[in-house]
Amino acid sequence: MGSNDTLSTDALYLDTLRTSWLPATGLFIALFLVVAFRAFAIVRFTVRFLGFVWLLFVASVSGILATLFERALFGQKRLYLHKHSLHFVSNYLMPLVINVRTEIIEGAEYLENTRPCVFIMNHQSELDLLVQSSFVPADCMTMAKEEFKKIPLIGSYMVLSRDAVFIKRSNLADAMATVTNATKEVIDRKVSLHVYVEGTRSYQETNDLLPFKKGAFHTAIGNQIPIIPIVAESYHGIYNFRNKMFDGGVVKIKVLPPISTVGLGPDDVGTMLESCRDLMHKTLIEISQPAPKWAKALKAPKSKKKAE
């Protein structure tokens, strides 16, 4: 009897320890993580960057499923269900998961009122994939590097959606043929074409722009359709990959009035390009916070002979 009572008492003691210490330990770990998240930039960066990757996964999978559903039920008819799922991820999940949202401070009407058209936008980082998706119209086609096809899930989604124009920049003839076919579709369907006019991510920290590529301007002038510049403010204070900083915030967007190309020809491409770049650069400085002290000057990437 005495031995059994001792065992029962020991078991009760151990059970009491478990029930009291496990919740306390869990609470301590939770508090430690919260303090670490608030105190250390690298912790915030890691958590939010993983959240960003998860959002891309959700956007791609939901986009693929929406596209397959749309094709199965409606055939070739375009209802842009995949774009609505992408808008949901960008406008509702993105603020919750990585504390980033967008705000169009001016010119929202220009996104819908002019068709066909070419949207040109500055390109800062991979975050633009969700930033752009939060406001670009559902009927918008996007010009992208052919390499995007090779990215798991994202590439499959872009191919299935039929809204991406893949450019093989190493081959000028192929690139021009692709752009010609895409432009014909834009005009026939009376939709829009979105182009990151710098051609690559700048990762700029000084409210600057890379040199512009000519492709969007050849497309617009060659088909006499308007150009609509879109400027996203510099978000070096929201996300900065070099410094492993990801604090989140609001990315302001300004959509500029349509620029007519009627009456212009191939000789006007250079002038139009520089005019748009000057206008967008001025707007970028106007809507952005001053460059931080730690900012590094923007350097243009080493050029290889690629299609513009």
**pLDDT digits over 128-155, tens only?**
999 999 999 988 998 888 888 888 888 8
Amino acid, res. 289:
Q
Q: How far apart are CA 28 and CA 44, in angstroms?
A: 19
Least confident of 71-80, 94-103, 137-146, 201-210: 71-80
Span 210-245, pLDDT tens digits: 999 998 999 999 999 999 999 999 999 999 999 999
Helices (H), strands (E): how many in the chain? 10, 9
Instruction: Give yes or no for a contact between 63 and 86, defined as CB atoms under 8 angstroms apart.
Output: yes
- The beta strands (E) that lie in the chain are given as 100-106, 117-121, 140-145, 164-167, 192-196, 227-232, 239-240, 245-246, 249-255
Q: How far apart are CA 299 and CA 294, in angstroms?
A: 15
Amino acid, res. 92:
Y
What is the pTM for the complete model shown?
0.86
Structure tokens at 248: 């989140």
Using only C-alpha atoms, what is the Rg of the chain? 25
